[in-house]
Chains A and B, each alone.
Chain A
Amino acid sequence: MDNQVEAYLSLDDPPKSDHLWRYTSWQRAHPTGDSGSIPSDVSIPNLKLRDINGEDVEGVTLDFGQKLPIPFDGSPTSDAFMKAITHGKAILMTIPDNWNSDVPLVLEITTGKGIEAAHIHIKTGRHSEVTILTRIEGDCAWLGLLRTAETGVGSTLHDVVVNKIRHGSLLRVDSFKAGRDSTITAGTVSAGSKQTKADIRYMLDSTGANLKVLGSLLAAERMHLDHHIEIRHVAPNTYSRLNWHTACSGRSTSVGTGMLKIDKGAKLADAGQLFHNLLLSEKAKANSIPELEVEENDVVGCGHGTANGPVDESQRFYLMARGLSEKESEDALVAAFLNSTLSQMGSELVHAWLIKTVEDALDGLKQS
């Protein structure tokens, strides 16, 4: 038994009173439901890196089998499990110092049919600028994806994850550490998987780090989408915003739990979180619970909020007065609601790519 497996098996299951596991228990997120085990038949999904035009990428490398630590502690359970199931081996994606391109990169993750897992570590160089669009597709029963990152001084990273798994479950664990004066724009677009449990964490422990987290999620049919986003401000002069939009239809359940921590010493931190759920059916459920822990008094601002509701009737009437039928108006308003965060995830090129990538899911939502 390797050390990673041993470390996981020594842990107790996390209690449901834990903010992270309140709405989706660890047993439910586990690939077999038997949290005291680690499946043996786990394979690595197929990874392909190209630019958005399908061309090879020069200068950016993918190195398999790297032994890399998680940059900072997150949930002991999900961290240890992901390390165990990937045997402590990561795929290292390196963006060199000063590497800069207007052409976004597309990392295709294509799964098979069973249980699959991967750890991808993104390391961006000093003053580099890159957009990475990670598209996850396939028919897997369960995919575990551990994504870690460390951004270089003065770098800019646009990181967008698009989940289009057809029916299976996704466990996503992110730990991103922002370097001094670096900027991260992190987008999550979810238009697939029957169940998603995501534990997404950002550490702003270098001065001048900037973070924008955006969500554009479609919960349809009987989907269960649970995203926990934790942002921790440690260094002074750090900035973060979270804007999370979920459209809920059918009998779906969506959960968004936010944890915003401002440590003592994070002077002039400026942080805000907003969860917004659009309820499209009476049987859809949405839970958004943003939480704050502020230990520093000298902050620029620190706020959180949540809003749930159906389509705005005044907006609907406005569109109907312009000739759109009731259904067309609702569809346009759902698309607009999701687009308002989608459009902030990157350049116009990225925006067009994202719309193309999820437009079939929007059609699916209309029918559910």
Chain B
Amino acid sequence: MTDETPVLSLKDLHVGIDGNNILHGINLNIAPGEIHAIMGRNGSGKTTAAATIMGHPDYEINSGAILLNGEDLLELEAWERARKGVFLSFQYPQSVPGLQVGHFLRKSVASIRGDEAAKGPAFRDALKSAMEEVSIPRSFLSRYVNDGFSGGEKKRFEILQLMLLKPRLAILDETDSGLDIDGIRVVSRGINAAIRGSESGALIITHYSRILEHVKPDYVHVLIKGKIVKSGGPELALELEEKGYEWLQ
């Protein structure tokens, strides 16, 4: 890792929900330009970590700290964190019937990057180029947000938002789930375009190593029962694919 201030620092993070402790002291630093992956079984706490960083109100932070570029996020609401540069690609994106995709994208870009970024030819060009990158047709703009979208369309739409919002930190919560190999390629292309060569960092949460063949992580961490039990380079993902999680229990 570099000596620069990390994009994301999790410091001894303990989190629970409804009185049940789920995360038991997570420590993690993501430097600018780095892509980290967290892998783990169902119920290991991966989605809890993602939702907590984004500021989901249902999760109680019992102790620890979340820093974005050195700034404490704990007192900020989700929308304030989004405006600071945190982006979460949801595992199950919500549908909002009645809210048009085009209108939503403009509103979201204006909220996070300012009004100027959401209008004029620059916005239209960025939108066109991002839609091409993730193979989303123009007709999507008049559809309603995630309403009637297939699983693959929802995931590609999440990545389209990632590309337009240009966050400092992108958290991708099981973005590969439900995607076929072509879908994973398309989504990976979008992630690489948004993160590689930028000062942003990314945290990819996944069960499988498939997406990591297309978006090469700098570091891989294994989460078991709310704790990071092992960290390593990209080769760790392959080892997990081969051996499973049993040997790390």
Binds A, one of B34-42, B105-113, B131-139, B189-197: B105-113
Residue contact A324 to B108, C-beta cutoff 8 Å = yes
B200 at interface (Cβ–Cβ under 8 A)? no
* Contact between A320 and B96, CB atoms less than 8 A apart: no
Chain A, residues 311-339, CB within 8 Å of chain B (1/0): the string is 01011011111111110110011011111
* A336 x B98 contact (CB < 8 A): yes
Interface positions, chain B 81-98, Cβ under 8 Å from A, are: 82-83, 87-88, 90, 93-94, 96-98
Residues of A within 8 A of B107 (CB): 324, 328, 332
Scan A338-356; emit 1 where CB is below 8 A from any B CB, else 0: 1110010000000000000
User: How many residues on the B side are at the interface (Cβ–Cβ under 8 A)?
Assistant: 26
CB <8 Å contact, B79 and A315:
no
Would you list which residues of chain A between 282 and 320 have a CB under 8 Å from chain B? Answer: 312, 314-315, 317-320
Q: Mark each residue of chain B from 93 to 128: 1 if its CB lies under 8 Å from any CB of chain A, else 0.
A: 110111100001001100110000000000000000
B211 at the interface (CB under 8 A from A): no
CB distance from B17 to the nearest CB of A (A): 14
Q: How far is the CB of B54 from chain A (nearest CB, A)?
A: 5
Cα A287 to Cα B130 in complex, Å, equals 46
Residue of A nearest to B78 (CB): A320
Q: Say yes or no: A323 contacts B98, CB within 8 Å.
A: no
Return the contact of A317 from the options B78, B87, B98, B165 (Cβ within 8 A). B78
Which chain A residues border B79 with CB–CB below 8 Å?
Answer: 320-321, 323-326, 328-329
- C-alpha gap A259/B144 in the complex (Å): 31
Closest A residue, CB atoms, query B103: A332
Q: Identify A336's interface contact among B88, B93, B96, CB under 8 A.
A: B96
Task: Among B87, B88, B96, B98, point to the contact of A343 (Cβ < 8 A).
Answer: B98
Closest 9 CB pairs of A and B: A336-B98, A323-B111, A340-B98, A336-B99, A339-B98, A318-B94, A323-B112, A320-B78, A322-B108
- Chain B residues within CB distance 8 Å of chain A: 54-57, 77-79, 82-83, 87-88, 90, 93-94, 96-99, 104, 107-108, 111-112, 144, 161, 165
18 inter-chain pairs at a CB distance below 8 angstroms, sorted by A residue, are: A312-B94, A318-B90, A318-B94, A320-B55, A321-B55, A321-B90, A322-B108, A322-B111, A322-B161, A323-B82, A326-B79, A332-B96, A333-B96, A335-B98, A335-B99, A336-B96, A340-B98, A343-B98
